[in-house]
Every structure is written in C-alpha cells, then in structure tokens.
C-alpha cells in the first residue's frame, strides 16, 4: 500500500551524512555561521510504547518520526508520529488498514514497515487467513545487486556472526529482544536501535497471544571495524544516551 507524496525526500544514508559533516567542517572556517544547530536528542526512557511488537520507526526530513508496529489483536495496522522519539509513546494513534473480513488478509496482520520510495510512502506487512496463522503472505521487491560487481544474493558476499548480537539479559530483566530496526534521533546524527522485548521469561499459553512485547529504543554504537555495537537491552526506566 502507498500514500501519495506530500513530504520531501528522506534523509541521506549514514555514510553520506558523515561525509557531508566532514565537508561542512572543512568549510566552517571560510563560511558565515549557518542556521542554528539541530537540537540534541533527549535521553530515552524505556519502555517507549506499550503492547506494540515488531516496531518500525523511520525519521523523515520534515522533522517527524513515524512509528508502526504489530497490535496484539493482529487485526490492523497502526501509525503514530512525533517530532521526538520519546514523544511516540503518548502520540495519537491512527488505524490506516484493517484485516479483510475473509481471505488471505483476513487475520494475523503483523510486522508492518513504512518506507518512502520514489516520493511515495509504502507500507508492507504480513497477513494470513484466520484459520492458519502460519500461512503468512508477504510480498517484497528488492534489488539484488550492489553498486559494484558483487551479487548480494551470493552467500559469499555476506559474513554471519557466529553468536547472537542482541540477547536476553537477566541483569536488565529484558527477555526475547527482537524484530529490530534502525532509525536516527531528532538531532539527525545519533543512530538508534529499535526493538521489542518482554519483562519476564515464563509465558502462559501461546506466546503469540501474550500482548506484552513492548517497543524499546536505545543508542546504537559502532565498533572500530565499522560493525554495529548493539550492547545489551537497557532496563526499563533507564535513560539511554540520546546525544
């Protein structure tokens, strides 16, 4: 599904942003002072959004962060927006699509993502017939080539970590972290990890019917070799560095 263009193009990729920052720094001594600096990202206090699993947040150049996620009833796609990440927790929530009365999209609406492509907003999501939770349908169009001779669908083009990069933590009492995405804070430069997790290990009944996977955010670090440093899931109420 898509929405006609009504906002400017999305922000540049992280690497282009870093290159631009270096270029701006080189010119700073020779050019007049520009507009006021962007505001610093506020510290994050988790949990961010209650009872919303499979979160996806995208930051737009118009100054808003857009949030969508799985509702525990699996019957709709929701959307929020806020000028700050912290503001998403209390932001008004709209329903932009509901499950069909019957058929392949009649239930199990889950894991939506929102992307801007060619001047339009697109949301892709999973769905299934009511009688078969695992008959999930999803359609994805992708480019399988890099910007050089490498073919991204070739296993040799990838390196897999031998261990999980983000796991449950007894110290912070966060269990089952997953379905992560990456976004940028309102300062335009702080990388942020978005994920969900529960506050307890034991689950009664079917885990899919437990609604307490909550959306959480924390600053994403970078290792010296250029790979992301996920750290550990921060505890509820802990302020993650937002600057």
Distance of alpha carbon 17 from alpha carbon 11, whole angstroms: 8
CA neighbor of 222 nearest in space, from 18, 7, 12, 9: 18
- The chain-wide mean pLDDT, for the chain, equals 82
Classify residue 197: in a domain, yes or no: yes
Classify residue 28: in a domain, yes or no: no
Q: Which one has a higher pLDDT value, 78 or 44? A: 78
Prediction pTM value: 0.78
Whether 138 and 198 have beta carbons less than 8 Å apart is answered as: no
pLDDT, tens digit (0-9, with 9 covering 90-100), for 194-239: 999 999 999 999 998 999 999 999 999 999 999 999 999 999 985 5
One DSSP character per residue, 134-147 reads T--B-------B-S
Classify residue 31: in a domain, yes or no: no
| Mean pLDDT, residues 133-143 | 70
Tell me which residue has tokens 């490498």. Answer: 150
Classify residue 33: in a domain, yes or no: no
Classify residue 23: in a domain, yes or no: no
State the CATH number of the domain containing residue 69. Answer: 2.115.10.20
pLDDT, tens digit (0-9, with 9 covering 90-100), for 140-158: 556 666 667 677 778 888 8
Classify residue 234: in a domain, yes or no: yes
Quick check: 13 pLDDT over 60? no
| Mean pLDDT, residues 93-98 | 96
Classify residue 151: in a domain, yes or no: no
pLDDT band at 8 (very low <50, low <70, confident <90, very high): very low
* Domain that includes residue 53, residue range: 2-18+40-139+164-240
Cα–Cα–Cα angle for 225, 221, 156, rounded to 5 degrees: 40
Whether 109 and 103 have beta carbons less than 8 Å apart is answered as: no
CA neighbor of 96 nearest in space, from 70, 78, 123: 78
Q: Quote the number of domains for the chain.
A: 1
Classify residue 146: in a domain, yes or no: no
């Amino acid at each position: 599904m898509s929405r006609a263009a009504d906002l400017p193009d999305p922000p540049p990729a992280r690497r282009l942003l870093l290159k631009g920052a270096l270029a701006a720094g080189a010119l700073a001594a020779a050019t007049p002072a520009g507009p006021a600096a962007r505001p610093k990202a506020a510290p994050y206090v988790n949990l961010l959004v209650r009872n919303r699993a499979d979160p996806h947040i995208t930051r737009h150049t118009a100054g808003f962060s857009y949030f969508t996620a799985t509702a525990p009833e699996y019957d709709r796609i929701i959307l929020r927006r806020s000028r700050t990440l912290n503001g998403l927790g209390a932001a008004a929530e709209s329903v932009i699509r509901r499950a069909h009365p019957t058929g392949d999209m009649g239930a199990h609406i889950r894991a939506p993502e929102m992307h801007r492509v060619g001047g339009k907003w697109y949301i892709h999501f999973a769905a299934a017939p009511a009688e078969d939770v695992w008959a999930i349908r999803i359609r994805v169009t992708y480019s399988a080539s890099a910007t050089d001779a490498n073919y991204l669908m070739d296993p040799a083009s990838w390196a897999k970590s031998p261990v999980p990069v983000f796991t449950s933590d007894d110290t912070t009492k966060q269990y089952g972290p997953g379905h992560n995405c990456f976004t940028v804070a309102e300062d335009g430069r702080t990388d942020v990890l978005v994920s969900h997790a529960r506050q307890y290990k034991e689950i009664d009944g079917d885990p899919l019917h437990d609604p307490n996977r909550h959306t959480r955010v924390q600053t994403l670090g970078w290792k010296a070799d250029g790979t992301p440093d996920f750290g550990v899931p921060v505890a509820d109420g802990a302020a993650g560095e937002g600057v």
